[in-house]
A and B are shown apart, each in its own frame.
Chain A
Amino acid sequence: MRWGFALRIAARDALRHKLRSLLVLTMIALPVLVVSAAITLVVTSQVSGQERIERKMGAAEALVWSEYRKPVDQAPDPFDWERWPVGDRLAEAPDLTDVAAVLGPDAHFVERRTERVEVRDSDKRLISFTADEVDLTHPITRGLFELTQGRLPAGAHEVVVSEPSVEAGFAIGARIEIPGVEEPAVVVGVGNDATTYDGLKVFGPIGSLIADTGPRNTGASDEAPQVWLVEGVEVTWSDVQELNERGFFVGSRAVIEDPPFASAASWVQDATGGGGDQAETLTVVLLVIVMALLEVALLAGPAFAVNARSQARTLALVAMAGGTPRQARRVILAAGLVLGTLATALGLVLGVATARVFQPLVQRFNGEWFGPFEVPWGWLVPVAVFGLLSALAAAVVPAWLASRQDPVAVMAGRRADAAPDPRTPVLGLVLLLIGVAGAWFGTQGDYTSAVPVAASAVAAMVGMILVAPVLVTTVARLARPLPLPVRYAARDASRHRGRTVPAVAAVAATVAGVVAIGIAVASDDKEYVETYIYAHAVGDGQIIWSPEEEGRDAEAGLIALAEVAGKAAPEVEVTPMLSPDLGEAEREGDYVYWEVDHDVEGNDLGPMSHGGGGASSIGIAPDTSHVYLSEDVRERADEALAAGRAVVFTDQVEGERDVVLSRVVERDYEDEVARTPDLEVALPALLVRTEGVASVIAMLPEELARDRGLEPIVTGVHLSGVADEETQQLITKALQQIDPTAEAWIERGPRSQEWQTVLLVVAVAGAVLMLAGTLTATFLALSDARPDLATLSAVGGAPRTRRAVAGSYALLVGATGAVLGAAVGFVPGLGMASALTRGDLYSGNSGPYIDIPWLLIVSIVVLLPLLTAAIVWVSARSRLPLVTRIE
């Protein structure tokens, strides 16, 4: 294996052609840079077990807590949910004496409690923060909180706050009145919490922040509500296991730092018995990698192709000097190796540097403090391999073609490429068909399977490349009746397929990408529009607010809001909306709602159309004018209401029936939810199908409601005729004078504005990339064609003709690539679209929605080639270039 001379030639050649080398470097280094920067940032943002020890337990040896189960099971590092409450529920927390018994008399415990607390400020604005009760003056808590201002709490009701809390009103000296805690807490210091970056957090001694309401057992977050910091003893893995037996989870510093298993992953494997659908995930990841590799390789390909062609004489000389085709191939492959290595190294270094530079910026979007800056070599090495592979892949085909060249012909100056193997396009067609078929099969069935879709995208892409040469030849044949420059360009393009095909493939690859994303996004948008549920007619809306009280107690406030709204915008029709009172049933902790799901005979009515669910899901009104309905439904509903019947909006059943209206109380227990209807009334009703557009599930005429003992109260305010945003803001402003939580919400229809900005950015970026790719490929091909163009001038072609030929060549490459790419882009595009819009368990089997952005596709296929041709035409130098045929 002698690569020495090949590497030498490649390295020196790369130096001699700096621009071309730079181009390849960028094409390969850029993705490596982006990926390695992203990975570095992600890994840095993640807090590993060791880093977390200090954040979670300060200077403590261990953290012990119970989740009211016994026994339990846990990983050496129990955080991040690596713990399982396997045993039975306990009524009370296991006794701490159990822990003391296991850990021995030297163990000391410091209690720490956390809870989400809500208070109202003087403006009645709701402020929600995390209360953290722990004795910060105890040395064991060192590392939990870093004081930056003021002092640590000394008295029983002195607290310190996190920096963001100051902005929320908890400056030093502020008093925080917490319901259930007798004395207000006084802020005496400000600092940083060890874990969260932007959260509102208040630290104080036990009893200063959290109202005592019995055992603290929700266990609903990864932060246990009550923990004990342990000091004085080292907690071993066997201690941990023993404590697990007694119902305690333990995060032990000693165990986490030196886990008893080779790796956490293997422990998980053992514990969970391996992952079932890992194989599929792996396949998809592999395919995505192959796809990206292909894309990068295709973009870098033209540069290597031109390199191979400019090295033609070198390769011929190598052959003359006794080099075998394999040795000749190495010269081009070595270029891939040299540039790939350089690009990868560059990409990695710049990627890590970029990550370092962007770390503070990204930190701002992340609530948790990042860990220390980390360079994840375990991830970066595969990324580097990827970069190298894509460079090699880009060089493989040119190298192979170059090794097949006839040295005699090259030395004699005959440069036409060998005729294409007739089998290649056939194979290409077969692959294309496989791609299309695979994509089709992949989207059949109940759910879209990613493997066939991704695989078929790869197959289609490879097929495309294999078909490209024939296409180029065919275009040359078709160009026969066209004017001379076009004809010349077409003939030239087909004679020098070695340079044309990579350019066409590069254009096709970018176009395929853009078309695929375009189809996916357009289809997604279509799904959004078509499944959009109107709460009101466009321009109508309601007042939304978060009242302190509910039900009847809130009625007065709501009526006041309605009055204010009416005054603020006299042209807006303001109507208080009535609903049956949920009464005393609405209690703290329970969730109460109305439901109509069966008739008096007990027949299931099927799923109800969408409604608020809460109190206002049943409307009491003489007609349906304030409910969003289609006109024919509205007519029938109004008739029914006038006739004293209820109207129930369903998805399925139609007709007149007696239905049962139930009031359901939903109570959250630890792990199950209990739903009990506590009131049921029978109603004569008309069931109408509305296909998911009504904002209520049923409407009742007032007399009927009263007759059944349902007291109408105001539960909402309907706003009608809010034509523009300004009126809406006017109303909101007026409302917030009374209640800062209130706001006018107006239906504006499906307008995905934010999404569209993203789409625009993607489209612009895609267009730039596409244009850049096309131009690069075209200019590379043209630089290779310069001797031929020079000949054209030499035989008397006017500068105009030269330009026209260059322009035609660009047009040809662009158009062929765009058509091919657009066609191929359909395969992954449709696959992705159907995967995205197939719908899910909740929205039902409504999809897939397929929308093909014809305008985008046509403009790419027509405009892109014209644009590149124009740019080439303008920038092609008309003066005769001094061309040396070789070097």
Chain B
Amino acid sequence: MTAVLHLDNVTRVHGEGATRVAALRGVSFTARPGELVAVMGPSGSGKSTLLNLAGGLDTPTSGSVLIEGVDLSGLDVAGRARVRRTSVGYVFQDYNLIPALTAAENVALPRELDGDSRKEAREKAMIALERVGIAEVADRFPDEMSGGQQQRVAIARSVVGERRLILADEPTGALDTETGEEVLRVLRDFCDAGAAGVLVTHEARHAGWADRVVFLRDGLVVDEAAASGAYGDPLEQGAL
């Protein structure tokens, strides 16, 4: 299958001279439909940078970023914005939602920005909210929702309008284990339904939900772990 997201030999350098930091150094990275890829690595290893490049919020110093086959470097600011509202969804650690908008309005935002009428956008938003299982909070404002609900709304927003790439930067960071797990399950479900997901996380436990785990260190991919294909006897995998 063709990749939804493809980073080809991407380098990103911040600053100049003494303050020069190479956040990414020649990273290649792919996410395919139906696949959840976890990105792990110590602080400052370039995880967020990678995600921002993938979302077209940042531009690589060299190399290219392709989303559904479209090279982002060929697009202007408005063009990249269009890609974000039609192809890419973002989820952050916290403060994901616009406080002045209700859950449904937050989810509908990308659609409204794309030109849907308010009604159309709301219909699509309600579908997305149902899929994450919290249609009942649709008309609540963010400060009337729990953290887990907020994150699920954020995920709903990232997929609304059949977008096929979800970028999540530590989406469970501010949640307890249980709630975090629920959020991951929702994310996983969307990937199983055909979306591609990139999950940046510090916690190995959460990376466990991914099909592949990419380890970053100092802006380089050092390692990749993939779950073995079959649901084999766990003991054979070397635990205990």
| Stretch in A2-10, A98-106, A294-302, A774-782 with 4+ CB within 8 Å of B | A2-10
**Per-position binary interface string of chain B over residues 64-82, scored 1 when its CB falls under 8 Å from any chain A CB and 0 otherwise:** 0000000000000110011
Residue of B nearest to A407 (CB): B57
Establish whether residues A5 and B55, one from each chain, have CB atoms under 8 Å apart when the complex forms: no
For chain A, the count of residues having a C-beta within 8 Å of the partner chain is 27
Give the complex CA separation of A323 and B111 in angstroms.
10
- The answer to whether the Cβ of A555 comes within 8 Å of any Cβ in the partner chain is no
Do A5 and B112 touch (CB < 8 A)?
A: yes
A321-B157, A322-B82, A408-B58 known; A12-B113 Cβ under 8 A: no
Contact B100 A320 (CB under 8 A): no
Contact B77 A9 (CB under 8 A): no
In the complex, chain A residues whose CB is within 8 Å of the CB of B92? 411
Report if A323-B113 is in contact (Cβ < 8 Å); known contacts: A408-B58, A412-B48, A887-B143: yes
* Known contacts A8-B101, A321-B85, A321-B113, A886 near B55 by CB under 8 Å: no
Which B residue sits closest to A317, measured CB to CB?
B98
Q: Shortest distance in angstroms between A709's beta carbon and chain B's nearest beta carbon?
A: 97
Q: Which residue of A lies closest to B58 (CB)?
A: A408
A542 to chain B, nearest CB (A): 76
| Known interface pairs A5-B109, A323-B113; A887-B85 also in contact (CB < 8 Å) | no
Q: How many residues of B contact A (CB 8 A)?
A: 33
B124 at the interface (CB under 8 A from A): no
What residues of A have a CB within 8 angstroms of the CB of B190 in the complex? none
Q: Which of A4, A313, A322, A326 has the most CB of B within 10 A?
A: A322
Interfacial chain A residues near B55, Cβ < 8 Å: 320
Roughly how many angstroms separate A758 CA and B109 CA in the complex, as a whole number?
56
How many Å lie between the Cα of A321 and that of B108 in the bound state?
A: 10
Output the least CB separation between B154 and chain A (Å): 9
Contacts A411-B92, A886-B95 hold; do A322 and B81 have CB atoms under 8 A apart? yes
Considering only CB atoms, which chain B residue lies closest to A411 in the complex? B92
A409 to chain B minimum Cβ distance, whole angstroms, is: 10
- Flag if A5 contacts B105 (CB, 8 Å): yes
Q: Does B179 contact A (CB under 8 A)?
A: no
Tell me which of B86, B88, B101 has the highest count of chain A C-beta atoms within 10 A of its own C-beta. B101
Q: How far is the CB of B72 from chain A (nearest CB, A)?
A: 13
Q: Are A4 and B48 in contact (CB under 8 A)?
A: no
Contacts of B112 in A (CB 8 A): 2, 4-5
- The answer to the question of B110 belonging to the interface, with a C-beta cut-off of 8 Å to chain A, is yes
B17 at the interface (CB under 8 A from A): no
Measured in the bound complex, the distance between the Cα atoms of B109 and A323 in whole Å is 9
Query: Contacts A313-B95, A887-B143; is A323 near B101 (CB within 8 Å)?
Result: no
Complex alpha-carbon distance, A193 and B143, angstroms: 68
* B110–A321 CB distance below 8 A: yes
Residue of B with least CB distance to A314: B98
Known: A412-B48, A887-B143. A318 touches B57 (CB 8 A): no
Q: CB-nearest residue of chain A relative to B79?
A: A324
CB neighbours of A318 from chain B (8 A): 98, 109, 113
Q: Which residues of A contact B115 (CB under 8 A)?
A: 2
Q: A327-B113, A408-B52 are in contact. Are A322 and B86 (CB under 8 A)?
A: yes
Known: A2-B112, A5-B105, A411-B92. A320 touches B57 (CB 8 A): yes
The answer to whether A319 and B57 touch across the interface, beta carbons within 8 angstroms, is: yes
* Residues of B contacting A319 in the complex (Cβ-Cβ under 8 angstroms): 57, 81, 84
The reply on B181 being an interface residue by CB < 8 A is: no
The docked-state distance in angstroms from the alpha carbon of A13 to that of B57 is 26
A408 touches B57 (CB 8 A): yes
Q: For the complex, is A16 an interface residue (Cβ under 8 Å from B)?
A: yes
Q: Kindly state the separation between the CA atoms of A326 and B113 in the bound complex, as whole angstroms.
A: 11
Provided the pairs A12-B100, A321-B113, A322-B84 are in contact, do residues A4 and B157 lie with their beta carbons within 8 angstroms? Answer: no
The residues in A between 6 and 25 inclusive whose CB is less than 8 angstroms from any CB of B are 8-9, 12-13, 16
Closest chain B residue, CB of each to CB of A887: B99
Residues of A within 8 A of B84 (CB): 319-322
A325 close to B (CB within 8 Å): yes
Tell me the bound Cα distance from A318 to B85 in angstroms. Answer: 10
* C-alpha spacing A318/B143, complex, angstroms: 18
Asked if residues A4 and B100 are in contact (CB atoms below 8 Å), the reply is: no
Whether the pair B81, A5 counts as a contact (CB closer than 8 A) is no
**Which B residues are in CB contact (< 8 Å) with A321?**
84-85, 90, 109-110, 113, 157
Q: Within 8 Å CB of A327, what residues of B? A: 81, 113
Q: B147-169: which residues lie under 8 A (CB-CB) from chain A?
A: 157
Q: Chain B nearest CB: distance from A320 CB in Å?
A: 5
Using a CB-CB cutoff of 8 Å, which residues 754-788 of chain A contact chain B? Answer: none
Complex contacts, A411 vs chain B, CB 8 Å: 92, 95
A327, closest chain B residue (CB): B113
Tell me, yes or no, whether B114 is within 8 Å of chain A by CB: yes
Proximity bits, B102-127, A CB within 8 Å = 1, else 0: 00010001101111001000000000
Answer whether A9 and B98 are a contact pair too, CB < 8 Å, given A318-B109, A322-B84, A412-B48.
Answer: yes
Which residues of chain B come closer than 8 Å to A9, judged between CB atoms? 98, 100-101
| Least distance between B99 CB and chain A CB atoms (Å) | 5
A323–B77 Cα distance when bound, in Å, is 10
Most buried by B among A4, A16, A411: A411
Say whether, besides A320-B55, A321-B113, A16 and B99 are in contact (CB < 8 Å). Answer: yes
A411-453 with Cβ < 8 A to chain B = 411-412
Return the chain B residue nearest A885 by Cβ: B95
| Chain B residues whose C-beta falls within 8 Å of the C-beta of A886 in the assembled complex | 95, 99
CA distance A606 to B229 in the complex (A): 117
Residues of B contacting A313 with CB < 8 Å?
95
| Residue numbers in A under 8 Å from B81 (CB-CB) | 319, 322-325, 327
Assess whether B97 is interfacial by the CB under 8 Å rule. Answer: yes
- Expressed in whole angstroms, the Cα–Cα distance for A9 and B106 within the complex equals 11
Question: Is residue B9 contacting chain A, with contact meaning CB distance below 8 A?
Answer: no
Chain B hits for A326, CB < 8 A: 78
Whether a CB of chain A sits under 8 angstroms from the CB of B28 is no
Instruction: Give the shortest distance, in Å, between A102 (CB) and chain B (any CB).
Output: 69
Is residue B96 within 8 Å, beta carbon to beta carbon, of the partner chain?
yes
**List of B residues within 8 angstroms of A2 by Cβ:** 112-113, 115
CB <8 Å contact, B97 and A317: yes
Residue of B nearest to A4 (CB): B118
Most buried by B among A4, A13, A317, A318: A317
State which residues 378-428 of A face B: CB under 8 Å. 407-408, 411-412
Q: Cβ of B113 and Cβ of A8 under 8 Å apart? A: no
262-321 of chain A: CB within 8 A of chain B: 313-314, 317-321
Binary interface profile of B, 34-71, with partner A (CB < 8 Å = 1, else 0)? 00000000000000100010010110000000000000
A8 B109 Cβ-Cβ under 8 A: no
Closest partner residue, chain A, to B85 (CB atom): A322
* Residues of chain A lying within 8 A (CB to CB) of residue B85: 321-323
Q: How far is the CA of A343 from the CA of B85 in the complex (A)?
A: 35
Smallest CB–CB gap between A610 and chain B, Å? 71
- Which single residue of chain A is at the shortest CB-CB distance from B157? A321
Chain B nearest CB from A351 CB (Å) reads 31
Point out the residues of chain B lying under 8 angstroms from A4, CB to CB.
112, 118
A429 to B53, CA, bound (A): 39
A55 to B48, CA, bound (A): 81
A13 to B101, CA, bound (A): 9
Residue ID in chain A nearest B82 by CB atoms: A322
28 CB < 8 A contacts A-B: A2-B112, A2-B113, A2-B115, A5-B109, A9-B101, A317-B96, A317-B109, A318-B98, A319-B81, A320-B55, A320-B57, A320-B84, A321-B90, A321-B109, A321-B113, A322-B81, A322-B84, A322-B110, A323-B85, A323-B109, A324-B78, A324-B81, A324-B82, A324-B113, A325-B81, A326-B78, A327-B113, A887-B143
B: residues with CB less than 8 A from A are: 48, 52, 55, 57-58, 77-78, 81-86, 88, 90, 92, 95-101, 105, 109-110, 112-115, 118, 143, 157
Q: Give 11 A-B pairs besides A314-B99, A327-B113, A412-B48 with Cβ atoms closer than 8 angstroms.
A: A2-B112, A5-B109, A9-B101, A12-B101, A317-B98, A321-B113, A322-B82, A322-B114, A325-B81, A326-B78, A408-B57
Q: Shortest 6 CB-CB distances between A and B: which pairs?
A: A322-B85, A322-B84, A12-B100, A324-B78, A324-B81, A9-B100
